[in-house]
Structure 1
Amino acid sequence: MKTLIVKYLPNPRSRTRKMLDAFLEEASGTEIEELDLCQDVPDLFSIEALGGYFGRITKAIPRDIPIPALAKMDRMTEQLKSCDVVVLATPMYNFSLPATVKAWFDSVMLQGDTFLPNPKGAFLGLMTGKKALVLMTAFGTYSTGDGTVGSLFGPTYDHGFSLAKLEFKFMGFSEIRGVLGEGMSPSKSEDVKARLLDESIEEVRSITQEWYGKKPLVVGEPAYGDASNVGAR
């Protein structure tokens, strides 16, 4: 089983990094490839790239013809297609994904590679059989509250953790899990933040042990199944 680690962790003291370290420790001895988005920055859709992409999906440009403007996107897409498990490790920025992480999703969500339209007008994800794990930390609390700032934001403010899981679902991943280390606000004591982080790390360890056959799941969220679960922690 091959695992692809996609990480965007510009802060050397990142709490998300500690969650990822726990995953790597539990998955040691397995085949792991890493993509560091701080070093290998995804391309944005330029005029040339967008023209090439639409030329490809409309069959105006044969798929076997290389398109230089899409070269990095194609490479990252093939990297994703070659793995069995993908682990995305990123912080939440301003209620959503960092721009670099969103650019990675835009790079790999390519029609004909990771999804297809179907005659019913919906879309068919092509990444069936694969698993995805989203590791994220955030200052605010999003799993509870009524959506107001006074209640520590609440679910309606989460457009990062939920979006990452939705993107994987769109591509057809068969099992999607997520661990959101929330409530890491600087206003909280270090003891409280350490406790919250420890709880998230234990959840990461449990999921990893389940997936890599070390011991059964004890804690952690249920497998991400139908669309009604989108955005749930």
Structure 2
Amino acid sequence: MTKTVLHIDSSARRTGSVSRDLTAQIVERLGAAEVIRRDLATPLPLLDETWINANFTPADQRSDEQTQLLAQSDALVEELKAADTLVIGAPIYNFSVPAGLKAWIDLVARVGLTFTYTDQGPVGLLEGKRAIIAVASGGTEAGSAIDFATGYLRHMLGFMGITEVEIVAADTLAIDEGAALAKAKAQIETLAA
């Protein structure tokens, strides 16, 4: 049984969102003891020069202002570390992920916290976690040549050490909504708790 789920929704739509419906169904199926919620429709800050400078300043040398600037990122990393399973709602916007999800990734992909560099290249520090990505799209088929969302998410999660990634796809909703939703529901029913 899953102990702790980090439930992330990134759809800009708080109502009428297929990806939000899918993540809710997945979280219910998993029956976790604890669910940490993160709604990325509430904007996160974008990286800027001040943030980057703070991030690359050694922790024991940061000013109070730099420490405060990184506080939200630190909290997001702690949520990620606390979870056994991530459930990420990722509608495909313009062939990729929503800006809010990209901002979240920018804030949690941090050297020394979620990955490190070695002589053999980068190594993820979040091994042993599972991720389930609920994808919804109007016309982009998940896994197709024009889907830049699922490959990017698999790569970034793997970069941080999360290599067990499953996709639940309600894709091409604009073409056949009923079939897309039925396919996603069938995929959810096969997920191990």
| Fold similarity call, TM over 0.5 | yes
For residues 31 and 136 of structure 1, do their structure 2 counterparts lie closer, same or farther at Cα, with a shift above 3 Å needed? same
1:29-178 → structure 2 map (5 Å cutoff): 30-39=33-42, 41-56=43-58, 61=61, 67-120=67-120, 122-143=121-142, 155-178=144-167
Cα shift at 1:53: 1.0
1:167-217, Cα deviation, whole Å (9 max, x unpaired): 1111011411112221112xx3xxx3122212112202311xx1x2xxxxx
Q: Which has the higher contact order (CA 8 A, sep 6+)?
A: 2
For residues 139 and 15 of structure 1, do their structure 2 counterparts lie closer, same or farther at Cα, with a shift above 3 Å needed? same
CA distance in 2: counterparts of 1:193 and 1:174, whole angstroms = 30
Q: Choose from 187, 196, 203 the match for 2:180.
A: 196
1:81-114, Cα deviation, whole Å (9 max, x unpaired): 1111111112110000111110000000000000
Cα shift at 1:71: 1.3
Cα shift at 1:60: 7.7
Q: Which runs of 4+ in 1 moved over 4 A?
A: none
Where do 5+ consecutive residues of structure 2 fail to align?
none
For normalisation by structure 2, the TM-score amounts to 0.89
Q: Which residue of 1 aligns with 2:10?
A: 8
Equivalenced residues, count: 190
Matched AA of 2:161: G
CA distance in 2: counterparts of 1:4 and 1:42, whole angstroms = 17
For normalisation by structure 1, the TM-score amounts to 0.75
Higher strand content, 1 or 2: 2
CA RMSD across the alignment: 2.2
CA distance in 2: counterparts of 1:77 and 1:110, whole angstroms = 9
Q: In the alignment, is residue 22 of structure 1 matched against residue 25 of structure 2?
A: yes
Where do 5+ consecutive residues of structure 1 fail to align?
145-154, 213-233
Q: Which residue of 2 aligns with 1:218?
A: none
For residues 180 and 193 of structure 1, do their structure 2 counterparts lie closer, same or farther at Cα, with a shift above 3 Å needed? same
| Greater Rg by CA | 1
Matched AA of 1:160: A
